[in-house]
Amino acid sequence: MRLEPHNAIDVVALMRRAARTYPDRIAFQWESGSLAYAALMVRVDRVAAALAGAGIEPGDRVAFMLRNGPTFLAVYLAALHLGAICVPLNFRLKAAEVTFQVLDAEPRLLIADEASAPEAAAATLPPGCRLYIDAPSAGAQSFATLISAAPDHTPAHRIDMAAPASLLYTSGTTGMPKGVIRSHFALAYLIPLRAAAMGIGPGTVHLAPTPMFNAGGHEFMLLETLASGGTVIVRRRFDVTEVIDLVARERVTHAYFVPTMGIRLMDSIEAANPDWTSLMMWMSASAPLPAPLRDRIRAALPATGLWTSYGITEVGAVTFLRPADVMRKPGHCVGPPMMGVAARCVDDAGHDVATGDPGEVVCRSPEAMSGYWRNPAATADTIRDGWIRTGDVGAFDDENYLYLLDRIKDIVISGGDNVYASEVENHLASSPAVQEVAVIGVPHPEWGEAVVAVVVVRAGHMKPDLAAALAAFARADLAHYKCPKHIAFIDELPRSEYGKVLKADLRKRYRDLFAT
């Protein structure tokens, strides 16, 4: 049964409560400054007035390509305050990728930082969409100019809690991005439950080195910390030396690292033995936590609680594996469903499988998506009788702990980023030199998985530097993390009797490609 949202408190109201209770406490800290709670809300109101002055009304989309920092947070909260729909875009996208997403979302505004400005400027924007650059030298298109022209009055709107609050682009098996709709109620609902589960409160100091545009970057721990009166420390980029110093100097209590970050951190932690005694929670998510890395963290930081979590953008967080269970539950266990989430493993007909048997993981939760933006067919295919199909294969044990076994959706998780094989395949297949291509993920000691393209070359196009040429072809139009780390050539792709490429055979063939 879906909970009724009419009495729920929206996200910005939760932030204002924290500002009234802790006005002088530092809420947000970045490389060159910090904001106390009261000052943060003043900035949010100023940006909200500017957006309203630019014509933003409830239901309008506000897109932004911004790295971690105060502008991202202020735009995000200001848009929510106005009842607009936030569209945080990956700042690493190329112009063609930006074009697809903004033409789909049709925002009234696109705000980009200085580094993202060239790709944003090269993109095709929908009619009526204006581009603003958050940079000192942006001239008439400067976001600062928009702010300075803002009216004094900040409009307030009654928030329809069932209405869309954010639009998060993700991809499926088709490789084409889809906009995941998160309602105001869904966003607000997750905050108190997750804060309670993770022990987040006024004394929390949360280090957030992952990109804020991602759902895990802003919905997972960051919003909970700000609503609770804690302090969030963000960085635009992940630097091992800086992170090790920050945790010790700022007495960080909670941190979220993808496994790739963990591998890099542990090399330095084991060598330097820093004072990380303040760290209560090391949360590992976005990709499976390798057992060797788990053991290294436990050995080097015995007083730190090591957590893992499983989730998808369409549902949010699904499970938590708590410190007491990290060693007790071996292999691919990701824990029991968290409070407020129901999860099952089902067969192709949608019936529950027996305990221990594999099936597709399906979930339901008030924080889950309302559907895909302007894509009723994909919505109907993913949401069945209120249950969201994850595309992941799992099994429950007799304690209701979930084990992830495989992925139905053809996704490579490299460094915590989802890479959709079909999207990369579609791009490489457009090269005149490529006859066929299959993209797979293979084990990698640092990235967890590496993107590998297996190519059948078109007759007459083979040449000694073809691998380098195809790599450059990919980098020209795809974000760097999507590009193959290795391109292999093969005479013929293995196929089933039905003509389907046998990717399992390819993964087996190339599984030791990056073995050390």
- Taking only the tens place, the pLDDT of each residue in 379-393 is 999 999 999 999 988
**Of 424, 433, 422, whose CA–CA distance to 469 is shortest?**
433
Place of tokens 């979220």: 256
SS3 of the chain: helix, strand, coil, percent, to 5: 35, 30, 40
Alpha helices (H) in 137-290, listed in sequence order: 143-148, 184-198, 215-218, 222-228, 240-249, 259-272
- Taking residues 196-218, what's their average pLDDT? 94
| pLDDT score at 172 | 45
Q: Mean pLDDT for the chain? A: 92
The whole model's pTM is what?
Answer: 0.85
Question: Please, which pLDDT band fits residue 260 given cuts at 50, 70 and 90?
Answer: confident
CB neighbour list of residue 460: distance below 8 Å, 6 or more residues apart: none
- Taking residues 336-349, what's their average pLDDT? 95
| pLDDT score at 496 | 62
| pLDDT score at 3 | 47
Q: pLDDT digit string (tens) for 58-104?
A: 999 999 999 999 999 999 999 999 999 999 999 999 999 999 999 99
Q: Are 276 and 265 in contact (CB under 8 A)?
A: no
Q: pLDDT digit string (tens) for 123-175?
A: 999 999 999 999 877 666 899 999 998 888 887 778 999 999 999 998 544 45
Q: pLDDT digit string (tens) for 18-47?
A: 999 999 999 999 999 999 999 999 999 999
Element (DSSP H or E) covering residue 323: helix 323-326
Q: pLDDT digit string (tens) for 353-376?
A: 999 998 999 999 999 999 999 999
More confident residue, 411 or 134: 134
Measured CA to CA, the distance from residue 173 to residue 214 in angstroms comes to 19
* CATH number for domain 411-510, candidates 3.30.300.30, 3.20.20.70, 1.20.1270.360, 3.50.50.60: 3.30.300.30
Element (DSSP H or E) covering residue 419: strand 417-420
Q: pLDDT digit string (tens) for 421-466?
A: 878 887 898 899 998 899 999 999 999 999 999 999 988 999 999 9
Q: Are 52 and 151 in contact (CB under 8 A)?
A: yes
- Say whether pLDDT at 259 is over 60: yes
